[in-house]
């Protein structure tokens, strides 16, 4: 991914190798348009994916709006197997969309049966927060979370949810990192709105303590957006996952090495945003949630696999061990310990936000497509063997949308017939 003047250090092969070693057998990569052009972005990512070594699908960003983008969204859904589009309310000047564009995108997604995804932070307020930090002389990594506090994630989440409710289309909130955002999702789901909340392993298992480390590289490796939050938010997100307020655990794996992170050594605004998680997700979730007793083994399968497959409409091909399903199976030893280190992981990054972490729940074997690809600490994969998985529109989140539309129209009681007589 090209981002903030550089490119993420992992490619399709190294990232997928890390995923397989960590017990993940399919990933959805994030396609960026080229100068706003969706078709050009799709072709570029098809080329990048030629070295893939496991099954993958795409979701796609929408960063501008015109007739061409609207047409290309149809092509992506109907011909190319993309059933979700991502909108950024942050990153002003690059990815950020206006409310007007977001509304157009929500309407188009609804008509196509595609799931609208949102990165929810208030981009305008973040620019103000960054300016405030610089004026105070705060230029180090700690300036990143200070400039984009939880209230800005909560505000954008609430706004996105309300706009999706206005259009009456399902909404998927990516990488929820704060209790502020989580509570907005809880409120919406309690009211019956179709909102899906995703948490990432970093949100469950990390807090912002390390971003204050006096060593720049140590602190900078934790810079991601929305930021890793102060202690307490992690516990709130764990609770939300255990009670169903949040539905699944993803990674938002977006890795940069220490040299790339050092681009912002004098200005936190220039630190490339992103942390690792592909190889670590299953281990971290097991240790944080199952080993602690917060969720059951069945829940672990649901939040790491089954629910995702259902949301993106590839269940039971994926997300299940059934006759006719893809033979994607992992064997996890709940009693075996695992230690995460940057020296032994499969990502190309020279840092790891979980470096030195030990816990229970070790992936012993990964079987993808009926073939053993990870066993006895050894990967058995070659570039170019991955398959592109097309995903169909109108997943289960769209069930009942038409009936709710009908109820709305029936409730209007308009237009009112009025006399046009003038005195």
Asked if residue 3 has pLDDT above 90, the reply is no
Where does the pLDDT of residue 46 fall: very low under 50, low under 70, confident under 90, or very high at 90 and above?
Answer: very high
Rounded Cα–Cα distance for residues 203 and 201 (Å): 5
Query: Can you tell me the mean pLDDT for 224-228?
Result: 98
Asked if residue 362 has pLDDT above 80, the reply is yes
Q: Which residues lie closer than 8 Å to 204 by C-beta, 6 or more apart? A: 234, 237, 238, 241, 249, 284, 285, 288, 289
Q: What is the pLDDT of residues 199-212, one digit of tens each?
A: 999 999 999 999 99
CB neighbour class for 5 (10 Å; exposed up to 12, middle 13-18, buried from 19): exposed
- Residue 369 gets the label, from left (phi > 0), alpha (psi -120 to 50) or beta, of left
CA nearest neighbour of 31 among 49, 14, 19, 18: 49
Asked if residues 116 and 106 have their Cβ atoms less than 8 Å apart, the reply is yes
Asked if residue 159 has pLDDT above 70, the reply is yes
Rounded Cα–Cα distance for residues 24 and 373 (Å): 11
Q: What is the pLDDT of residues 237-257, one digit of tens each?
A: 999 999 999 999 999 999 999
What are the structure tokens assigned to 384, written together? Answer: 């170019």
pLDDT of residue 423: 64
Rounded Cα–Cα distance for residues 391 and 164 (Å): 22
Backbone angles phi, psi at 267, to 5 degrees: -160, 105
Query: Mind listing the domains of the chain with CATH numbers?
Result: 12-321 (3.20.20.140)
Where does the pLDDT of residue 420 fall: very low under 50, low under 70, confident under 90, or very high at 90 and above?
Answer: confident
Query: Can you tell me the mean pLDDT for 96-106?
Result: 98
Report CA 248 to chain centroid distance, whole Å: 10
Rounded Cα–Cα distance for residues 123 and 75 (Å): 30
Asked if residue 403 has pLDDT above 80, the reply is yes
Half-sphere exposure of 107 (CA within 13 A, CB side): 8
Q: Which residues lie closer than 8 Å to 411 by C-beta, 6 or more apart? A: none
Q: What is the pLDDT of residues 138-151, one digit of tens each?
A: 999 999 999 999 99
Query: Can you tell me the mean pLDDT for 81-102?
Result: 97
Q: What is the largest CA-CA distance in the chain?
A: 91
Q: Which residues lie closer than 8 Å to 154 by C-beta, 6 or more apart? A: 178, 180, 181, 183, 184
pLDDT of residue 418: 86
Rounded Cα–Cα distance for residues 73 and 135 (Å): 42
Q: What is the pLDDT of residues 300-346, one digit of tens each?
A: 999 999 999 999 999 999 999 999 999 999 999 999 999 999 999 99
Asked if residue 421 has pLDDT above 90, the reply is no
Cα angle vertex 236, ends 235, 237, to 5°?
90
For the chain, give the mean pLDDT. 97
């Amino acid at each position: 991914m090209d981002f903030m003047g550089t490119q993420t250090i992992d490619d399709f092969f190294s990232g997928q190798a890390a995923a397989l070693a960590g017990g993940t057998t399919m990933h959805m990569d994030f396609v960026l348009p080229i100068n706003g052009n969706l078709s050009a972005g799709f072709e570029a990512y098809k080329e990048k994916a030629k070295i893939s070594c496991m099954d993958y699908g795409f979701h796609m960003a929408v960063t501008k709006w015109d007739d061409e983008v609207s047409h290309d969204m149809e092509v992506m859904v109907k011909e190319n197997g993309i059933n979700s589009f991502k909108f950024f309310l942050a990153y002003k000047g690059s990815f950020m969309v206006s409310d007007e564009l977001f509304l157009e995108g929500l309407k188009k997604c609804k008509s196509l049966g595609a799931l609208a995804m949102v990165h929810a932070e208030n981009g305008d307020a973040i620019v103000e927060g960054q300016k405030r930090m610089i004026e105070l002389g705060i230029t180090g990594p700690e300036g990143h979370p200070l400039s984009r506090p939880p209230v800005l994630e909560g505000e954008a989440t609430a706004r996105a949810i309300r706009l999706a409710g206005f259009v009456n289309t399902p909404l998927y909130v990516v990488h929820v990192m704060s209790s502020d955002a989580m509570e907005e999702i809880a409120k919406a789901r309690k009211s019956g709105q179709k909102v899906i909340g995703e948490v990432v392993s970093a949100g469950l298992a990390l807090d912002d303590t390390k971003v204050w480390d006096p060593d720049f590289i140590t602190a900078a490796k934790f810079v991601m957006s929305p930021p890793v939050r102060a202690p307490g938010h992690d516990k709130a997100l764990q609770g939300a996952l255990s009670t169903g307020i949040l539905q699944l655990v993803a990674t938002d794996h977006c890795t940069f090495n220490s040299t790339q992170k050092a681009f912002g050594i004098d200005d936190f605004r220039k630190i490339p945003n992103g942390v690792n998680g592909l190889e670590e997700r299953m281990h971290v979730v097991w240790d944080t949630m199952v080993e602690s007793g917060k969720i059951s083994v069945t829940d672990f399968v649901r939040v790491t696999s089954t629910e995702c497959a259902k949301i993106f409409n590839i269940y039971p091909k994926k997300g299940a061990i059934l006759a006719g399903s893809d033979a994607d199976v992992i064997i996890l030893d709940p009693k075996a310990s695992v230690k995460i280190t940057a020296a032994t992981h499969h990502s190309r990054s020279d840092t790891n936000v979980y470096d030195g972490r030990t816990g229970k729940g070790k992936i012993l074997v990964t079987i993808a497509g009926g073939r053993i690809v990870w066993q006895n600490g050894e990967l058995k994969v070659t570039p170019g063997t991955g398959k592109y998985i097309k995903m169909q529109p109108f997943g289960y989140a769209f069930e009942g949308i038409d009936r709710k539309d009908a109820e709305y129209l029936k409730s209007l009681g308009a237009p009112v017939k009025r006399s046009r007589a003038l005195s």
